[in-house]
Each structure stands twice: as C-alpha cells, then as structure tokens.
Copies of this chain bind each other. A is one copy, B any other.
Amino acid sequence: MSPMVIAVDAMGGDNGPSVIVGGAAIARERFPQVRFVFFGDEAVVAPLVKGQPLLADCSDIIHTATAISSDEKPSVAMRRGKGTSMWMACEAVRDGKAQAAVSAGNTGALMAIAMLLLRKAPAISRPAIASFVPTIRGESIMLDLGANVGCDERNLVEFAFMGAAFARASLGLPRPKVGLLNIGTEDLKGNEAVRGAAQVLRDATDLPFEFCGFVEGNGIAQGTADVIVADGFAGNIALKTQEGTARLISAYLAATFRRSIWSKIGYLLARPALQALRERLDPNRYNGGALLGLNGLVVKSHGGTNAVGFAAAIGIAADLAIGGFVDRVLDDLKRIGPAPAGAEETTEEQAAVQS
C-alpha cells in the first residue's frame, strides 16, 4: 500500500507558512502514516520544515513563487491561478499524487479551483462544505455551510449521504444519526426541499445511516443528530450564529468575574477549570471545512487559524482519506440511484460568484 500523502498549500492563510508547517507537525503526531507535500516558496518553507523534527523524513517541498491573495476574486483565481500554491495542491490530488489537499487560503478561490480541477463526483449534483460543530455530547457534523445558497430535495439527500460517510470516517460511528435542519419537527414544517428530502429518506429502506427526521436550531448543540443537513444558507447562518453566541457569552462571563473582589478571587480559584472550558470552546478545535462531492478531497482551514487549528483541518483530511471517503460515498449513493439528468447544475463560474 502506497503511503497517505496530503498536499498542503503552504502560502495560504493570514498568519504565514510557519503556522501551516507547525500545524502539519502537530497533525503528524496523530497520523504517523501520513506524508506531506508542501507547495510554496522554498526559501521560506524549507527552513520551517527543517525546524520540525517530526516532518524531516516525511515531507517534500515543491517550489512555487506565486500564491492566491486573500482578496482575489474566485473567477480571476480560476483563470489566472495556475501555478499558485493553492492550484498546485489541488492539482496533486487530481493527478493522484496526493489523497487530499488542505489550504487556509481564500475560500471562494479554493472552491472554484477545486471544482475546476477535481470536478463533481458522479451521482453528486452539488458539492457541499462540511465541518464539526460542538454539542453537549461531543461533536456533530454540519453541512452545507455555504457552498449552495439554495438547494432542492435531491441536493439535501446527497448531503445526508456525504455527511453520514464523513461521520463514519471521522467520528467512527458505524451508523450515524442524520437529521434535517428545519423550523419545527412536525412533517408539515419547512420548505419544499426539506419536506421532500425527509420523504425520500423516510421511504428509503436501505440507508447506511439512521434518519432521525427534523432537527431545530436548538437541537444542533443538543447533539440530537450526529449529522445536521441544511442548505448552504441556513447551515452557514446556524454555524456563524453558534460562533457569535459563544463569543457573546464569553464576553458576558469575563464581565461577570470583574464584578466584585469576591468574583475576582473566585475566578482565580476556578482558573484552571475555566481554562479547560476556554479550550473546549476554542474555535480552532473545530477548524476545517471539508469540500465534499468532488473527485478528490479538499479541506479549507480558517484563514486566521493557529497551528493547532491547522492541524485539526489536516486531521479531517487524513480521517476522510484513510476512511476512503470518496469511493465510499459513491458506493452508498448507488442505493438511491444517479443524480437526475435534469438536475440543476451549478457551473464552476456560478459557484465562484456565489462563494
């Protein structure tokens, strides 16, 4: 068996290549079987790799002097991105030289380039972005987080299959519980797409997951389902509302402990426990959005992440690659037949504009 190779865009992100390389070193501890190919400015990247003993015998560097800037328009990135570190990382996946690509660069550009180079997988009408979200039971997976603003029932059904395969690979759940995000739990609630998708999933007899019906916004953090399926508009709103609320409460909490001398002393005594809480809510822990539904794996890291966060994004790529995600989803989807021939298609250009 050939080793698992992950292609890393060493030039993407707001904090420079040192965070990227540092993240790879952290990820390597968890995945000793993984090798890395870093795409970027060799003069900068090589000394960083050399500085990480864990990366010494498992890393290659492929030089490129150009990178996609953080404000580049996706349509421009698609036309002029060839040869950039991001493009080359995706190209490595397309050419079978790597099993997954990870980038902390410009989201819209990455989606556009990934779709252009890797193309949609057969049986998938729309790719989706999936990520972990914190719940009272641990972690769930939510998708789509913004690749598609509007979805029909077929799109949502595909997301359910892709999310379930993600949960099997990354959470080790043999038969994950999959729910559809909706504004109520009764059958009649919601728009046509969610009601239709629920009908398809309820009627299916041979699902590789357990369909648990509709999940409301408050059910996400409750851990009602292992996989939350939504269109990209609702999913993105839910994800970012969760982030914003966590930040709000952290701010409230900080103010709370400043209220009196007693609360300040209380804070000092509870400090190690509160530090653990802070780590639990640290967005870096949940960093990494997997672009699913292509002929190859691409994971987007948050641009402002730190090395721990970038390692989390690599972890998603490694879990999915080791779990044989791409083939597994296609296999699973045979149970519901091919994407309808007339299915609404998103061209790469449209996706780029939307993103």
Contacts and interface: CB of A to CB of B under 8 A. Distances in A.
A237 interface: yes
Interface in A212-237: 216-222, 230, 232-234, 236-237
B273 A263 contact: yes
Contacts of A271: 266
A257 B270 contact: yes
Contact of A244 (B189, B220, B236, B252): B220
B277 A269 contact: no
B217 A248 contact: no
The A contact surface, by secondary structure, is helix
Interface in A179-201: 181, 183-184, 188-191
A230 B237 CA distance: 10
Contacts of A249: 245-246, 249, 281
Interface in A269-283: 269-274, 276-277, 280-281
B257 A191 contact: no
A336 B242 CA distance: 35
Contacts of A184: 146
Nearest to A269: B266
A81 interface: no
Interface residues of A, number: 63
A217 B190 contact: no
Contacts of A220: 241, 244-245
Q: Which of A241, A248, A259, A268 has the most CB of B within 10 A?
A: A241
Contacts of A191: 149-150, 233
A353 interface: yes
Contacts of A23: none
Given A266-B269, A266-B270, A237 B238 contact: yes
B246 A217 contact: no
Given A230-B237, A234-B234, 9 more contacts: A149-B190, A218-B240, A220-B244, A221-B245, A221-B247, A234-B237, A237-B237, A246-B249, A249-B281
29 contacts: A146-B184, A149-B190, A183-B232, A183-B240, A188-B354, A190-B233, A216-B240, A217-B241, A217-B243, A218-B243, A218-B244, A220-B244, A221-B247, A222-B244, A222-B247, A234-B234, A237-B237, A242-B244, A245-B245, A245-B249, A252-B277, A256-B273, A259-B272, A259-B276, A262-B269, A263-B272, A265-B266, A266-B268, A270-B270
The 7 A-B residue pairs whose C-beta atoms are closest, nearest first, are A217-B240, A266-B270, A218-B244, A266-B269, A221-B248, A217-B241, A263-B273
Interface of A: 134-136, 146, 149-150, 181, 183-184, 188-191, 216-222, 230, 232-234, 236-249, 251-253, 256-257, 259-260, 262-263, 265-274, 276-277, 280-281, 353-354
